[in-house]
Amino acid sequence: GNDNVATDLTNATSITVKLGNASGYLKSATVDPASLTDPTTGQIVLALTADLMTGLTAGNYQLEVWVVDSTGTSIYPSESTLQFQVNSSLE
Q: Do 52 and 27 contact (CB within 8 A), yes or no?
A: yes
- Where along the chain do its domains lie? 14-82
Sign of CA dihedral 80, 85, 17, 41: negative
Decide if 17 contacts 29 (C-beta within 8 A).
yes
Give the span between the Cα atoms of 23 and 5, in whole angstroms.
29
pLDDT at position 55, please? 86
User: What is the pLDDT at residue 2?
Assistant: 77
**pLDDT string in tens for the chain (91-residue length):** 777 788 999 999 999 999 999 999 999 999 999 999 999 999 999 988 888 888 888 999 999 999 999 999 999 988 889 999 998 876 6
Predicted structure pTM score: 0.87
pLDDT of residue 89: 76
